[in-house]
Amino acid sequence: MSWETLVVGELKLKEGISKEEEDRILKEFEEVLECKLGEAEWDGECYSFQDINWSSHVTGEKVAKVVEKYEDKIDYFDCSIYYLNEPHENLFFDKGDWVEKWVL
């Protein structure tokens, strides 16, 4: 089963990590986040990523396992996972009348 997600976050690895090790860590994060960190915005400090996935298998549990696996190599990690299964607001106007108006 899959679902829709928006994944937003930042990853900063500690200094002194070899290029091979960095590539391995990034690849593992790419697998659980289902987005390309190599294509993420690099600001010289950390990787910033945001990705919408319409057939996602991303879960916080999977991401947390990778963070814990490399916690000694990670300086900073921040990630928000938004599940887009249901709308937060819904507006439907048809032929001059509100059919549905559900707003927060």
Q: Helix (H, G, I), strand (E, B), or coil: what is residue 89? A: coil
Question: pTM for the whole thing?
Answer: 0.79
Q: Residue 6 pLDDT > 90, yes or no?
A: yes
**Domains (ranges, CATH) in the chain?**
3-102 (3.30.70)
Per-residue pLDDT, 3: 86
Strand partners, 47: 11, 42
**Beta carbons of 10 and 77 less than 8 angstroms apart:** yes
Whole-number Cα distances in Å, 41 to 3, 50, 72: 25, 9, 23
Confidence of residue 100 (pLDDT cuts 50, 70, 90): confident
How does pLDDT run across 49-93, given as a tens digit for each residue?
999 999 999 999 999 999 999 999 999 999 999 988 877 777 778
Q: What is the residue-wise DSSP string for 2-52?
A: -EEEEEEEEEEEPTT--HHHHHHHHHHHHHHHTS-STTSEE-SS-EEEEEE
Rounded to whole angstroms, the Cα distance separating 60 from 49 reads 16
Does the pLDDT of residue 104 top 70, yes or no?
no
